[in-house]
């Protein structure tokens, strides 16, 4: 039995999330069915993170255990051939030790949220970014974001469906920057609560629009009350960027 780590890029729009679902297609289902078609083996894919319906990935790390021996490059080529036309690509594949785990060995996760801030509607980025036509103050959003960096109880920014045992998390980075018409929010932590990134982005957007003061973000964080949340950003603009592992 060999453990293969695969790095996935995917468009989340057609899927009900990364994890296998009983009520619709998932990225996990597509990859597992591709492995079955290639090897004749039923496998279970484990991943560094979870993504909701409509959330994308640039570098999701997952693993599968396969009895047959494959060259990693040839396995990635075979998987990509079988995955077509689904918008999923294996962009890297390598063999890992048996005690390595895509989820439990991961020591950090990074997300990026993309906002297109312009009057004109989206064309090429429709479904790939959040369109906000009114001007955003990215500097104010960044200042407000710093209230969330560090060790906090993130109950306010946690989905009611979150299954995590503890709402306390350490947010290592939350930066907001403008690049032309794009406002980018970059978040890094060891792990995140369900909807945490989208909830933080939605709240920061209210600061950017001038509806909330910068310090009000600290107040809603300290309230530890989901009812105080300003807004949950849509999934379209959220990307799982990378998973970090010990060297």
Active site residue ranges: 52
User: Residue 136: which of 187, 198, 210 has the closest Cα?
Assistant: 210
CA nearest to 198, candidates 88, 139, 115, 108: 115
Q: Structure tokens of 200?
A: 């933080």
Instruction: Give the pair of three-digit tokens for residue 205.
Output: 């957007």
Q: What angle do CA 206, 234, 150 make, to 5 degrees?
A: 60
Quote the DSSP letter at residue 137: -
**Helix/strand/coil percent split, the chain, to 5:** 25, 30, 45
Query: Positive or negative CA dihedral for 79, 80, 82, 83?
Result: positive
For residue 166, what is the enclosing H or E element?
none
Report the length, in residues, of the chain.
247
How far is Cα 113 from Cα 17, in angstroms, rounded to an integer? 17
End-to-end CA distance of the chain: 24
Spatial neighbors of 15 by CB under 8 A, at least 6 apart, are 24, 25, 26, 27, 30, 53, 54
> How many alpha carbons lie under 13 Å from residue 209 in its C-beta half-sphere?
16
């Amino acid at each position: 039995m060999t453990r293969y780590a695969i790095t996935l890029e995917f468009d989340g729009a057609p899927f009900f999330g990364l994890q296998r679902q009983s009520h619709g297609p998932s990225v996990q289902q597509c990859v597992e069915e591709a492995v079955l078609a290639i090897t004749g083996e039923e496998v279970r894919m484990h991943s560094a993170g979870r993504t909701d319906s409509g959330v994308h990935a640039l570098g999701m790390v997952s693993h599968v255990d396969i009895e047959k021996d494959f060259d990693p490059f040839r396995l990635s080529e075979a998987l990509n051939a079988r995955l077509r036309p689904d918008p999923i690509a294996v962009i890297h594949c390598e063999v890992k030790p048996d005690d390595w785990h895509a989820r439990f060995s991961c020591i950090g996760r990074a997300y990026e949220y993309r906002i297109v801030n312009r009057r004109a509607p989206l064309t090429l980025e429709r479904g790939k970014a959040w369109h906000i036509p009114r001007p955003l103050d990215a500097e104010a959003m960044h200042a407000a974001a710093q209230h969330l960096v560090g060790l906090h109880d993130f109950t306010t920014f946690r989905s009611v469906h979150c299954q995590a045992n503890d709402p306390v998390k350490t947010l290592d980075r939350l930066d907001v920057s403008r690049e032309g018409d794009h406002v980018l929010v970059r978040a890094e932590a060891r792990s995140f609560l369900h909807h945490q990134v989208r909830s933080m982005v939605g709240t920061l957007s209210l600061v950017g629009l001038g509806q909330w003061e910068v310090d009000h973000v600290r107040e809603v964080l300290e309230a530890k009350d989901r009812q105080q949340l300003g807004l949950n950003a849509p999934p379209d603009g959220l990307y799982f960027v990378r998973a970090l592992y010990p060297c």
